[in-house]
Structure 1
Amino acid sequence: MPKQTKESKTAEMASDKEQSPPILENLEENLKQIQSKLGNSPDLIIRNYESLDHVNHAAAVYINGLIDMERVEDYITHALSLDSLQEKAESVATVLERFSFAKGKALSIGKEKIVEDQNSLLEGLLSGDTMILFQGLTKAISVSTSGGEGRAVTEATTQVNIRGPKDSFTESLGTNLSLVRKRIKNPNLWIETLTIGAVTKTDVSIVHIHGLANEAMLQEFRKKLSEIHVDSILESGYIEQLIEENKYSPFPTIFNTERPDSVAGNLLEGRIALFVDGTPFVLIAPATFFMFFHTVEDYYQRYDVSSLIRILRFMCLLISLFGPAIFVAALNFHQEMIPTPLLINLASQREGVPFPVVIEVLLLEVTFEIIREAGIRMPSPIGQTVSIIGGLVLGQAAVQAGIVSPAMVIVVSLTGISSFATPAFNMALSVRLLRFVITFVSAYMGLYGIAITGLILIAHLCSLRSLGVPYMSPVAPFAAGDQKDIFLRTPLHFMKIRRRLVNLKSSVPGTSAQLRKDNPHEN
């Protein structure tokens, strides 16, 4: 299908607006149309208000469960009730004066606007706004009263930490934005809100620090979002899959987190955050490969401890990616590399095993994945217990039955445990997937196959981009000044300049450059 031009899109939007039915002067007819279009839904609440001559002159319409009832009662009811009108009897004699009076009262809530067509009216209702309609007027007041039931701010469940803030994002867009505002009290924290999804009308917000975020990256990000034409956006993962540049790569090129401090730190490095209403996971771009192995807790501890932990994470990456493959290659093709006592021991263990080494690995790997997936889906009180007991019982039974060797159980268990050391879950999933591919290659080509596959992976990683930023930066292309926070973490007083490959700017307009450089999340 040919892409629509900007002019055709504008004309289409104007046409849709023209086709939208206007609000009628007759209040009763308006209310009937709203009820009809919402299928006479029982959660649609209509509250009529009488004027001094006991005639319905106005109505407040909202959807129960989407609004904050306390705000409705305190402000909107007060603006439309008979008592309020009696107090202002002389000043609200006409319908226009009543409209102005109610509009002024709505200002006390904060956000209000005027709507003049029924499509805008319905969109406001479904977004949690309260609509105030008047007899004899072809316009209505839309008052922001969104609220209702929601999950409270709790501790992060997928990105736990020992030291640092314990709050995490919720499913409320407003709450999530406020958690970042509390950490970055700067007027240059800019927020742009738009709606995506033809059916769901999901609100999303682009957040960046003006003066730090690269304008070209911002324009590219806005362009990618504007090109999304789908019916529904139910989670940020929908958008992540739709805007990533290399859709067939196993590696994630957009970072996601549920921690406000992680979002704040990345914004201060010049990155862009995307908040999606209805999910606690925020997207961050551009993302680099090494971001997925860093945590915000690295900056809350001493540099030597953080550096040691980072080295451990990268070692676990190599073990989880190449561990089973190297074991298979050594037993099948390179026995001379194994010490003779160990080789004799391994051969004696495999004496009664009827399967080749690669089949052993696959049996145990698939079993381990089944146990891990079952443990995640089971109720939390028993999920971890079943996973541990299931792994021990099945492993011991498989060894006693002669299906696998004890050494193979150790290798696969170490590999599985190492994969849990990767902080980012989506990167750990990619490593788990590639582990099977590399194991197959090693079964037929030995260490040469592993080396060739490793070179292909490195070349592929170097070819990836995230909003134009090289995925392997600052290692490839190499930037000597940016190596202070990659594999090791130097002391904070050495990290005073932001990474050049993310943004060339080092200060926010109107802010002291030295204060900007003292952020622990910057390099």
Structure 2
Amino acid sequence: MGFFKKKTNTKEQSTPPSQTNENSSPNDLKTSLQDNIQFVKNSLGESSDIVIREIRIGQGGSVKAGIFYTDGLTDTPSLQNFIMESLMLDIKGTGLEKKLTPGHNILTALKDFAMTVGEIKDLTSFDDLFTSLLSGDTILLIDGYSEGLVMGNKHWVERGIEEPASQTVVRGPREGFSENLRVNTALIRRKIKDPSLWVESKVIGTRTKTNVALMYIHGIANDKIVNEVRLRLDRIDIDGILESGNIEGFIEDSTYSPFPTVFNTERPDIVAAALLEGRIAILVDGTPFVLIVPALFVQFFQSPEDYYVHTGIGSLIRLLRFFAFVIALLAPALFVAITTFHQSMLPPALLISLTAQREGVPFPAFIEAVIMEVTFEILREAGIRMPRSIGSAMSIVGAFVIGTAAVEAGIISAAMVIVVSITAISSFVSPTYNMAISVRILRFGFMGLAASFGLYGLAIGFVAMILHLCSLRSFGIPYMAPFAPFNVSDQKDTLIVVPIWKMFTRPRLINQTNVVRQQDPASAKPQPPKNDETRE
């Protein structure tokens, strides 16, 4: 809540309005309540959802006041029970009523004794008034005062905490972020009850005025990276921010790279784990997707479930994801290269079988692969956009019907359908959607190189991709760390997952001030009881 405070002397006597407005700017609130009401109405175009209520308070109703709120964004029961009832009913017959006269500082008395709302802020300008009013707060203006009160009682219909749809796990928490910024910060604080977990708030967007929160653990996060994140956020000058993807486009290091350099997630446990490693989270009001920086290549193959299951199972699944990444990227290109240029690499029986399948097929292998890949991408996109009750069924049935019909019609060979199907299934193994999209984009480039130069073109393209990955940075951190530059101590959470008691240090390139996160692994490892102790 904010309050209008009229200039007063030491005896709390009111100053004439003419003196308070001598040096005021057009953006400052006026001392006349009617002038303020008219300005608000004109600026908002007499909008029907803006409610303005004029009331009288004080002894004998001698003081005129105005209450402003936005219908649908304000908690109406709270407004009636804790604001209007306090102003119009609760103060009657009390000593406070005598102070609510033109000869006293009314706003100070209301703020200190009458208002039972938790959040109260001062208000002095129309810009702050419109921002608070359109955010769901209640505004209180008093006639004769060029200041006012902002009372925090936002409330709107919102989606509850549900399981994330984009990052599901078999074992682990089922809670996900919602579209409410304050709910999201609370979900993270439930997991990290540390006073060093700091939250910095920013408002981005000249028209949307979107609330953005910066979260990091002071003393663990690298101060240089924190300052760089602040700098990039402060440089954003745009009329509106509607989703965290808008923020991502402004702060990412390589805009035109197919690989993402900013990580996003719907899961509070992923954000909490990233904060404990020294990373920084960016939360945007109105979206359940939280940004995490810096983001490294290996991070896009990690799932929270890797750390909740047995170490051997987690390592096997992690290796499977990297293997699926290679299949989804290179399988069609390898098939095109071998069947077009390097038939001698195939066993004679397999070569005869493939040749018999391709008999009568009018297109080369590259055109076959392009047709099937484009068809599957269309089916996948259609399945996402259609209603969920029929979307998945339509994708499966459509792929089966089209694939079978294409083979029977002699347009596509059966082997190509198998290769494209394995490739599509492998692309779904990736735990992050944006890395899967990168693979889908690069797949067509590798197919073109394979059709033009065979395995030589494929090797050149793969080397070029590795060089590009090594050249990327995410807020100054090498994208391929800890592979390049190679760091032995950080290999415990890359291709495999070591036991949790061995992860006693944080990633060294990300964090350089508070590296050790637990006791020495030799003493942390559970010790089995001796035989004598077991018998006892």
Compared with structure 1, are the counterparts of its residues 477 and 201 closer, same or farther at alpha carbon in structure 2 (3 Å cutoff)? Answer: same
Displacement of 1:81 after TM fit?
A: 1.3
In structure 2, give the amino acid aligned to 1:452: I
Q: Is the 8 A contact 1:48 1:56 kept in 2?
A: no
2:72 matched to 1:72? no
Following superposition, the deviation at residue 286 of structure 1 comes to: 0.2
Q: Is the 8 A contact 1:254 1:287 kept in 2?
A: yes
Question: Sequence identity, in percent?
Answer: 46
TM-superposed deviation, 1:29: 1.8
Letter of the 1:491 partner, please give it.
P
Q: Does 1:320 align with 2:320?
A: no
1:170 alignment partner AA: S
Which residue does the alignment assign to 1:5? none
Q: What corresponds to 1:260 in structure 2?
A: 268
Q: Distance in 1 between matches of 2:356 and 2:196?
A: 68
| Code of the aligned partner of 1:89 | E
Q: Paired residue for 1:45, among 37, 45, 51?
A: 51
Q: In the TM superposition, what is the alpha-carbon distance from 1:37 to its structure 2 partner? A: 0.7
Task: Name the structure 1 match of 2:35.
Answer: 29
Name the residue aligned to 2:503. 495
Q: CA deviation at 1:119?
A: 1.5
Give the structure 2 partner of residue 63 of structure 1.
70
CA-CA distance at 1:49 after TM superposition: 2.0
Structure 2 distance, partners of 1:385, 1:264, is 36
**Matched residue, 1:357:** 365
> How many equivalent residue pairs?
500
Task: State the shift of 1:271 in Å.
Answer: 0.2
> Partners in 2 of 1:67 and 1:186 — Cα distance?
32
Question: For the Cα contact (< 8 Å) 2:83–2:115, is it kept in 1?
Answer: no
- Bigger Rg, which one: 2
Between stretches 179-188 and 118-127, larger displacement belongs to 118-127
Contact kept, 8 Å, 1:506 with 1:517, in 2: the verdict is no
Shift of residue 102, structure 1, vs aligned partner: 2.4
Change (3 A) 1:81 1:495: same
Segments of structure 2 that go 5 or more residues without pairing to the other structure are 1-22, 525-536
- The 1-side partners of 2:186 and 2:287 are apart by 15
Matched, 1:188 2:188: no
Cα deviation, residue 20, structure 1? 4.5
Aligned counterparts, 1:1-20, within 5 A = 20=26
2:436 corresponds to which letter in structure 1?
Answer: A
Alignment partner of 1:447 out of 445, 455, 462: 455
Please give the alpha-carbon distance, in whole angstroms, between the structure 2 residues aligned to 1:515 and 1:148: 49
Q: How far off is 1:200 after superposition?
A: 0.9
Provide the C-alpha distance between the structure 2 equivalents of 1:346 and 1:498, rounded to a whole number of angstroms: 51
- C-alpha distance 254-515 of structure 1, shift in aligned 2 (>3 A): farther
Are the equivalent residues in 2 in contact too, given 1:206–1:273 (CA < 8 A)? yes
CA drift of 1:84 comes to: 2.0
Using the alignment, how far apart are the partners of 2:387 and 2:237 within structure 1?
37
Deviation at 1:518, TM superposition (A): 12
CA contact (8 A) 1:214 1:503 kept: yes
Q: Is the 8 A contact 1:79 1:102 kept in 2?
A: no
| Alpha-carbon distance in 1 for matches of 2:111, 2:331 | 68
For residues 413-465 of structure 1, give each alpha carbon's deviation from its aligned partner in whole angstroms, at most 9, with x where no partner exists: 00011000011100100100000010011001111111110000000000000
Q: Which runs of 5+ in 1 are unaligned?
A: 1-16
Deviation at 1:40, TM superposition (A): 0.6
The 5 A counterparts of 1:108-257 are 108-257=116-265
CA RMSD of superposed structures (Å):
2.0
| Partner AA of 2:375 in structure 1 | T
Structure 2 contact 66–140 (Cα < 8 Å) conserved: yes
SS in 1 for 2:509: coil
**Residue identity opposite 1:78 in structure 2:** E
1:414 to 410, 422, 439: 422
Q: 1:477 aligns with which of 462, 482, 485?
A: 485
- SS at structure 2 position matched to 1:53: helix
Q: Does the CA contact (< 8 Å) of 1:58 and 1:133 recur in 2?
A: yes
Summarize the Cα distance change of 1:330–1:339 in structure 2 as closer, same or farther, 3 Å threshold. Answer: same
Q: 8 Å contact 1:106–1:143 — kept in the other structure?
A: no
| Cα distance, 1:18 vs structure 2 | 7.7
Q: SS of the residue aligned with 2:99? A: coil
Q: CA deviation at 1:516?
A: 13
Relative to 1, partners in 2 of residues 1:18 and 1:491: Cα closer, same or farther, differing over 3 Å?
farther
Q: Which amino acid aligns with 2:50?
A: L
Matched letter for residue 390 of structure 2: I
Tell me the TM-score normalised to structure 1 length: 0.92
- 1:193-240 per-residue CA deviation (whole Å, 9 max, x = no partner) reads 011111111110000000000000011111111111111110000110
Conservation of the 8 A alpha-carbon contact between 1:49 and 1:80:
no
Question: Once structures 1 and 2 are overlaid, which stretch shifts more, 47-56 or 442-451?
Answer: 47-56
Question: Cα offset for 1:22?
Answer: 1.8
**Secondary structure of 1:47's partner?**
strand
Provide the TM-score with structure 2 as the length reference. 0.90
